[in-house]
Chains A and B, each alone.
Chain A
Amino acid sequence: MVSGFPLLSGVDLELRAASLTVLVGANGAGKTSLLRLLAGLIGLRAGEGTVLGIDLATGERRQLRRHVGWLGHDGSFYDDLSVKENLTFAARALERPLTDLDAVLERVGLTARGETPAKQLSAGQRRRLGLAWLLLRRPQLWLLDEPYASLDDEGRDFFDALLGEVVARGATVVVSAHDPLRSALLRPTTLTMAGGRIVGASS
């Protein structure tokens, strides 16, 4: 709720495991709010919702968040830390071995940028750092808020390939975007949002 108005209303959504769903809609359509609800970052005021077996209304949202990976369009890390320092912090927080770090950096193509402060990365490299953070975490549910914004074609292709991989490995991915995905590789379910509602669906 913001100033008495519900952010989302009449949303009826069921996500299959190991699937890719794209939320499309204009600014203010409710895409980010729906992602934040799925991540357990905001509470459910009315209605029912279960994510990864956890009820969104009962206040166990902190437990849910541990199984969710979030990538925001405005960066998801500490700007003053280097790429490696950001990932080391995440790995230590999650008690993951630091030996995974180099492989993850190589996978996202940031090996040469390991010592670069995050604030000096380009938009595409920042997205790759966000992806590295998620690859390190290996969450069950990936929630990506406008990950394609300001990416060039190479960046979009890289993102598509990686999302295809993680879905094939069994993760569930929800992406918000202004437009439907153009990739021929991915076959997502596309949900159109407007005014905090889902107004259309296509597979």
Chain B
Amino acid sequence: MIRVALLVAGKDLRIERRSRVLLWQVVPFGVMALLLCGLALGPTQAGHSSAAPGLFYVVVVLVALLMINRSHGVEATPGTAASIATLGLDPGGVFLGKALALAVELWLTGIVLLGGCVVVLHTGLQGTLEAIPSVLVILGAIAGAGTLYGALTTGGSGAATLLPVLSLPAFAPLLIAGERSFHSALHGGSLLQWWVISLVALAGYLAVGILLYGVLEES
């Protein structure tokens, strides 16, 4: 399973490196969305830092939805899907590989967006740096859940609409835990409970994905 996961993750990241969709489309979109959030809060800096964690995760969800659609879109051509199906790859490994590649892409985007938070939303540099570990865990869990729901909606008509509708309830606890832990890192407070929720969610989505991805592929 690990061999297949590394193979699939390497393939997805190579496709990303070649197509530059992340670099030229997703990251600029995320930065623009963050900038618009900053403008919407007004010219005064008061309140920006408090709103920053929530706005950061709103933007993260938007870019994650783009990335999930992209990640599954490369497999969706009927001929490609059939060819890959006949390779007989372990579905658990395929899930892990796609989730890993998506997580790496989200981590890179997340780091850029955190930099944007410092510049646009005036979050303190020290607090933002302290938030990075929890952000990485939450983004990993979003990648796991997103890969699962992406497989559920890929190929169906209205996939672009269905994906956010179906996945947002799964993302909700992650976004709450992420926002709270980022807020605690910026303004002080206990991070432990949010860490526990984040890690349990990450493990849960990965376990469910490994078990169910094959069933979703077949359906």
**Interfacial residues, chain A to chain B (CB-CB below 8 A):** 36, 39, 41, 62-63, 65-66, 68-82, 85, 89-90, 92-94, 117, 130, 133, 139, 145
- Chain B residues within 8 Å of chain A by Cβ, number: 21
Jot down 12 A-B pairs with beta carbons below 8 A, ordered by A: A39-B85, A62-B88, A63-B88, A69-B86, A70-B86, A71-B83, A72-B82, A75-B77, A81-B11, A81-B18, A93-B89, A94-B87
Tell me how far the C-beta of A21 lies from the nearest C-beta in chain B, rounded to whole angstroms: 18
A interface SS class: mixed
Interface of B is mostly: helix
Complex-state Cα separation, A103 to B37, whole angstroms: 56
Asked whether A39 and B82 contact (CB < 8 A) given A78-B15, A81-B11, the answer is yes
- Separation in Å of the A96 CB from the closest CB of chain B? 11
Residue of A76, A77, A78, A82 with most chain B CB atoms under a 10 A cut-off: A78
Looking across the interface, which residue of chain B has its beta carbon closest to that of A82? Answer: B18
> When A65-B85, A89-B7, A93-B4 are in contact, do A75 and B18 touch as well, CB less than 8 Å?
no
User: Is there an interface contact between A93 and B87, defined as CB atoms closer than 8 Å?
Assistant: yes
Question: Does residue B19 face the partner (Cβ distance < 8 Å to A)?
Answer: yes
When each residue 123-150 of chain B gets 1 if its CB lies under 8 Å from chain A and 0 otherwise, what string results?
0000000000000000000000000000
Indicate whether B78 reaches chain A with its CB closer than 8 angstroms: yes
The reply to whether A75 and B79 contact each other, CB–CB distance below 8 Å, is yes
B23 at the interface (CB under 8 A from A): no
A78 & B89 in contact (Cβ 8 Å cutoff): no
CA distance in complex: A117, B18 (Å): 9
Docked CA distance A127–B85 (Å): 18
Of the candidates B14, B74, B77, B82, the one having the most CB atoms from chain A within 10 angstroms of its own CB is: B82
Write out the residue numbers on chain A whose beta carbons fall within 8 Å of the beta carbon of B89: 93
Closest-by-CB residue of B relative to A90 is B87
The yes or no answer to B80 lying at the interface (CB within 8 A) is yes
Contact B78 A81 (CB under 8 A): no
Q: Are B14 and A77 in contact (CB under 8 A)?
A: no
Q: Which of A70, A78, A79, A92 meets B82, CB within 8 Å?
A: A70
Q: Report the Cα distance A82→B15, complex, angstroms.
A: 9
Residues of B within 8 A of A66 (CB): 86-88
